[in-house]
Amino acid sequence: MDPWTTQVTRPFVLGPQTVPEVTDETEVARRPALAALSAIVHSESPRAAAILETVARGLASFAPSATNYWFEVVEVGLEDTPSKENWRKLMQNVITHFPGHRTLFEEKYLEGKAEGEARGEAKGILRVLEVRGLAISDGVRERITTCTDLDRLHDWLDRSGTVERAEDLFVEGSPGS
């Protein structure tokens, strides 16, 4: 046997028995990494909701960049556990530290939300036209899918059930307008 040890490996296993349940916001402020691990490791515990709420409130006390970083760490760590949806709902309430002040973070969030709504409306319009058997040219498809005006898209969706041709969506005074 060689008298010199060149490497020693000691496994460190994280699990419910080795990571405490963080339920105190001051602990989250002092040890955010432990709090994030607690939320992840105890994600299937009966106390998971309380842990997640505490961790979310505690992380919200950090600077926005740190808050966002730890929120994402927890979200990724939760993988496909039942707690992930709960965590995502908690994160929706902590989008910004200054709601209503149109900060860059809030604006980017709202832009993304509006873009998602517009894509959904466009898909709905195209689906109605397809189900009705109307021909949809590339030009019509592009005009619908690139539109970001939600009021216009709502109008087109309403009219998509009554127009005779897909192109008639864009004509003022056509049926349903």
Secondary structure of residue 127 in the 3-state scheme: helix
CB count within 10 Å of CB 44 equals 11
- pTM equals 0.51
Alpha helices in the chain (DSSP H): 25-30, 32-41, 48-59, 64-78, 83-92, 104-131, 138-146, 150-159
| Residue 96: per-residue pLDDT | 56
**Contact predicate 66/43, CB 8 Å:** no
pLDDT tens across the length of the chain (177 residues): 567 778 888 888 888 899 999 999 999 999 999 999 999 999 999 999 999 999 998 988 888 778 888 988 998 999 888 898 888 888 776 655 556 666 555 666 677 778 888 899 999 999 999 999 999 999 999 999 999 898 999 999 999 999 999 999 998 765 544
d(CA 44, CA 79): 12
